[in-house]
Amino acid sequence: MAKDNIRFKIIQATKEEININGSDFTLDMVAKRAGISKKTIYNNFNDKEELVNCVIKDVFLKLKERRVKIINDTDMDIVEKIKKLFVLIPIEVSEIDLRKYEAVCVKYPGLLKYVDEKIEDEWSYIDEYLDLAMKQGRIKRRNIYSVKTVWLGTIRFYLIYRERCMANDVTMCEILSIIMNGLKMK
């Protein structure tokens, strides 16, 4: 099996173990789930922290790939791009249980900083498009920091409580509708 395939398999198994066991997951559990030896994990990753870093980076890499597609889509108008960017994190991060990942991140403080930086990075694209759409008169002028606060709160609530929400896509569509109606030109 190629090294990239093994790393992918280990990362996927780690995601599943974190979702099940949170910060209590062990490399033995990952090895068993991936159907490999613990030695194979250490041949690909220096330690548990590096593995967890790779898992988090994998999530944000997928997020970036989707964002680039949205931004580069010349057929999509600016308001539609804003809508797609608003729901990008909840869609891409839906494969992880945020509560359990937060517990893991507490063990590795560098991860919390990394996650915060990546969320800020994602916001910067939304911020740019909101500003442009406001200047073009496509949406109402609003305090962007207020919109950001609503967006961050929505993401956090959605990711933590999504199991209690109705269907994920229905909930996100409703939240997006509320946000966008607050920005829509009359």
In this prediction, residue 70 carries a pLDDT of: 96
Mean predicted lDDT score pLDDT of the chain: 85
CA distance 64 to 31: 28
Query: Which of 47-51, 86-90, 99-103, 167-171 reaches the highest mean pLDDT?
Result: 47-51
Residue 180: pLDDT above 60? yes
In this prediction, residue 181 carries a pLDDT of: 76
Residue 19: pLDDT above 70? yes
Is the same domain home to 124 and 158? yes
Residue 105: pLDDT above 70? yes
35 backbone φψ class: left, alpha, beta (φ>0; ψ -120 to 50): left
Sign of the torsion angle spanned by Cα atoms 120, 144, 68, 95: positive
Q: pTM value?
A: 0.79
> Which of 45, 61, 77 represents a domain boundary (last residue)?
45
CA distance 61 to 67: 10
Given a contact cutoff of 8 angstroms between Cβ atoms, the answer to whether 179 and 154 are in contact is yes
* DSSP summary character for residue 139: B
Helix (H), strand (E) counts: the chain:
10, 0
Task: State the average pLDDT over residues 39-67.
Answer: 92
What is the number of structural domains in the chain?
A: 2
The token pair that represents 15 in the structure block: 């995601």
Is the same domain home to 28 and 74? no
Is the same domain home to 99 and 177? yes
In this prediction, residue 72 carries a pLDDT of: 97
Is the same domain home to 66 and 137? yes
Is the same domain home to 17 and 79? no
Is the same domain home to 67 and 23? no
Residue 1: pLDDT above 60? no
Is the same domain home to 57 and 106? yes
Instruction: State the CATH number of the domain containing residue 40.
Output: 1.10.10.60
Instruction: State the CATH number of the domain containing residue 154.
Output: 1.10.357
Residue 26: pLDDT above 90? yes
CA distance 93 to 61: 11
Is the same domain home to 124 and 143? yes
CA distance 114 to 59: 12
Start-to-end C-alpha separation, the chain: 58
Q: Which domain holds residue 22?
A: 1-45
Is the same domain home to 41 and 58? no
Please report which confidence band the pLDDT of residue 167 belongs to, taking 50, 70 and 90 as the band edges.
very low
Q: What is the pLDDT of residues 125-162, one digit of tens each?
A: 999 999 999 999 998 888 888 888 888 887 777 766 66
Q: Which amino acid appears at position 176 of this protein?
A: L
Q: Give the residue from 120, 146, 141, 155 showing the smallest Cα distance to 185.
A: 141
In this prediction, residue 176 carries a pLDDT of: 73
In this prediction, residue 7 carries a pLDDT of: 94
Is the same domain home to 79 and 95? yes
Is the same domain home to 77 and 145? yes
Please report which confidence band the pLDDT of residue 163 belongs to, taking 50, 70 and 90 as the band edges.
low
Is the same domain home to 23 and 94? no
How much of the chain exceeds pLDDT 90, in percent? Answer: 40
